[in-house]
Chain A
Amino acid sequence: MNKIHSLDRLRNFRQGIIDQRKKFAATMIICGGTGCQASRSKDVIEAIQNELASQGLTEKVHVRATGCHGFCEQGPILVIEPGNIFYCHLTPEDAQEIVSKTIQKNEIIERLQYKDPVSGNRILTEAEIPFYRAQNRLLLSMNRLVNPGDIEDYIAIGGYSALGKTLAELSPDAVIQEITAAGLRGRGGGGFPTGKKWTETRNADGDEKYVICNADEGDPGAYMDRCVLEGNPHLVIEGMMIGAWAVGAFKGYIYVRNEYPLAVKNTRIAIQQARDLGILGENIFGSSFSFDIEIARGGGAFVCGESTALMASIEGKVGEPRAKDVHTAVDGLWHKPTTLNNVETWANVPAIIHNGSAWFAAMGSKGSKGTKILALTGHIKNTGLVEVEMGTTLNSVVFDIGGGSSDGKAVKAVQTGGPSGGCLPVDKFHLPVDFDELYAAGSMIGSGGFVVMGQNTCMVDVAKYFLTFLQDESCGKCVPCRLGIDRMLEIVTDITEGRGKPEQLDLLEELGATTSETSLCGLGKTAANPALSTLRYFREEYEAHIHNKKCPAGMCQALITYQIDSETCTACGACMTACPYKAITGEKKQIPTIQLELCQKCGICRSECKFESIQVN
């Protein structure tokens, strides 16, 4: 392959790709992200390609296997251009019908169309789907446009032109000025102003500097970094290159979890393709700038998402954080000045350079600019990755995009920001997605996990879940984090198992505050948030567990008993057959009884009962 030595060559190369693709009358965009691959999208892609070949359409229809579109729940997803026709829940068997009907004759196959769970209507185009309509998909929309394994796709949509502009027209200081003026803040959770971080590294002493992309995403339920890196690795690479030019680095690392095999694979391919074209390497685009990227794979420790632990891990040491009294921007990887940013932060950089800081700063709220990708999961109708403008209210995210509660009952709370974040009750849903506002309310955007919780979620149990996760993931180096989380978990476990005492709530609060104030790294500093925020907004639930020995949501096994409601029970006997412990006994056609000493409270009878006669007390 010919190397691209100058900007003119890049422009010609792009024009060449565009001209070459004019022959295609239609494009079939199929999601090949991890979520859709789990529902056999690879087979679907193969079936469609075979079908196109057998109908002689290979030269007329372009098939593009892309990264995640975000609406993983509906996968595998197909979008047909032109027309923006949206098909979901595909199987390989559908390929023949799609090609012969929709591609050949422009007929719509109703059965494959998206059915809106709120209104029940079939929807034809992607743009009309409420889930997509309420979003502002700055980064995610690019995923549909590129095949992550093909650098030509990325160059065809204008990729690497922001890098070209940077190298040709902008001095490092000018780049930093643009990023600062744009108001970009770190998307990994902390919300540290990116421009400020870059300035620190730029001004730090030393010729050897590094940039790192943090793709060690470990929050339960969050996968936005994975999707960006899997679906559009060149965007991240371009962002890192612009950052490297600005801070004066010549080497970059992408630290990605080994549990993300597709992200590792796609990034590796992307780096190789960029090297082959001379986009990574010496004297990029004929300038004085040289840069290369290496992949460092993480071993799956949550704490390695913390910057100093991540750097220790790259250095080959145990992934443990160290004191950060001097910022890593000055004393980072191998004690050299290092700029570390999250995947999403890097991915925002090319567009800022391309469109200017004013364009970016016009989006968002007062303190938080641009958009944020959120992983919307939980008891909600539409789940998946959503990208919203900063400042969008939680109401809008949960109800307009998410479609509200999945079981028709009211939503109880939303847990934002993963294990470091907190739970916000429905009466806080007027709050915007904004770094400072959510922080003030006791939660945070964090990496962007949004877990919606329905009425039968016990908030003490939620706190216990996250504390268990954090206790397991704490590195154990410092006392407040190792012992503080463990003791908090001990208290919460006592409460859920009916041993709670009233004074333990104050102790929990005090211990939480101590852990947040004195822990060594970000993991410990935020570890108390799930417990503290649930205690702040759902104190009455904690009190019910302690004073009445009852779990209002019916989740804590030690505090509940199952009963059969004799009024609604039809004596069908389904529960008796279902019970694996033979704890439900009774004569035929008579209302059975639950033997409490045998009952293991597994809840199988409750889910088997068609008349909702099994009640929890």
Chain B
Amino acid sequence: MTEKVSVTIDGAIIRAPKGLSILDAALDHGICIPHLCRVPAISDLGACRLCIVEHIQNGRSKVTTSCTLVVKEGMVIHSNTEKIKRLRRNIAELLVAEAPNSRAVQDVAMRCGVKEVRYPFRNNNCILCGRCVRICTGRLGEKAIGFVGRGMDRRVVAPFDLKSKLCRECGWCSDLCPMTMTPCGGPMHKGQERLCTNCESKQTSLDQMTGYCVACYFGKGFQCERHPERFTGIEE
């Protein structure tokens, strides 16, 4: 049996196996920390920054992503403070302004409490979460796609923009892509982008949302995989 350590997440003392990330430990115990770029069982990137938590160390709080933070005996974590909620909302707002044409992104923005978008919409078709790249390199051991470019030029492509011979056409990359699910109202055209609030009506108390797992139906696969209809990969 693997060794276990105790960590305190939002006041709950959790026994988690060594080597597990805080995000996994929290999800295992029904504490829902919003996340987007995470793929279960694949190395984490820390790209989307939605899963940020406050890590209290020597009386000082440090904001860090829970997916890259590995459990350690006696750790104290707050995943839902006012500060974290505010920061998370701002990040989700940046994301949804960049790519409103994804149900997963719209849902996560709604769950993080985004009520208005203060930036001009951009309607990009990639948010560089890297789920596709990591499944290809991390799980399948191929490198058919990867990141190229820096900063705003960063994008996911096959080597030299040619279809790679390494590609087995397994389709995992598109299965995992948050951009493949259009918003319920259908795709938004350029100039018509908006914050889709369809999910809001289904939710009882928005402010309590991120505090605990309510087995939500939103953006299935991109949120809490503890859900009964959890994301199951290829079969989905």
Contacts and interface: CB of A to CB of B under 8 A. Distances in A.
Interface string A509-553: 011001001111000000000000000000000000000000000
Contacts of A484: 94
Nearest to B69: A325
A483 B87 CA distance: 14
A319 to B, nearest CB: 9
A483 B98 contact: yes
B68 A476 contact: no
Interface string A464-494: 0000000111111111101110110010000
Given A323-B46, A325-B64, A514-B87, A483 B94 contact: yes
A518 B128 CA distance: 17
A507 interface: yes
A483 B90 contact: no
A161 to B, nearest CB: 40
B132 interface: no
A490 B70 CA distance: 36
Contacts of A60: none
A520 B69 contact: no
Contact of B152 (A301, A476, A510, A514): A476
Given A484-B94, A507-B118, A517-B63, A479 B49 contact: yes
B223 interface: no
Contacts of B127: 479
Given A325-B69, A517-B87, A479 B95 contact: yes
Contacts of B46: 322-323, 477-478, 520
B87 A518 contact: yes
Contacts of A301: 150
B47 interface: yes
A473 B87 contact: no
B90 A477 contact: no
B153 A476 contact: yes
Contact of A476 (B90, B97, B120, B149): B149
A391 to B, nearest CB: 26
Given A323-B65, A325-B68, A517-B87, A478 B150 contact: no
Interface in B52-99: 52, 63-65, 68-70, 83, 86-87, 90-91, 94-95, 97-98
Nearest to A477: B47
B160 interface: no
A519 B65 CA distance: 9
B87 A482 contact: no
Contacts of A517: 63, 83, 87
B189 interface: no
A318 interface: yes
Contacts of A476: 128, 147, 149-154
A472 B153 CA distance: 9
Contact of A479 (B47, B68, B118): B47
Interface string A315-331: 00010001101100000
Interface string A223-265: 0000000000000000000000000000000000000000000
B90 A514 contact: yes
B27 interface: no
B49 A520 contact: yes
Given A479-B47, A520-B46, A474 B94 contact: no
B199 interface: no
Contacts of A318: 147
A473 B151 CA distance: 6
B48 interface: yes
Nearest 3 pairs of A and B residues by beta carbon: A476-B154, A323-B68, A514-B90
8 contacts: A323-B46, A323-B64, A476-B152, A483-B97, A517-B83, A517-B87, A518-B87, A519-B49
Given A303-B150, A478-B47, 5 more contacts: A325-B69, A476-B151, A477-B154, A490-B120, A503-B118
Interface of A: 301, 303, 318, 322-323, 325-326, 471-480, 482-484, 486-487, 490, 503, 507, 510-511, 514, 517-520
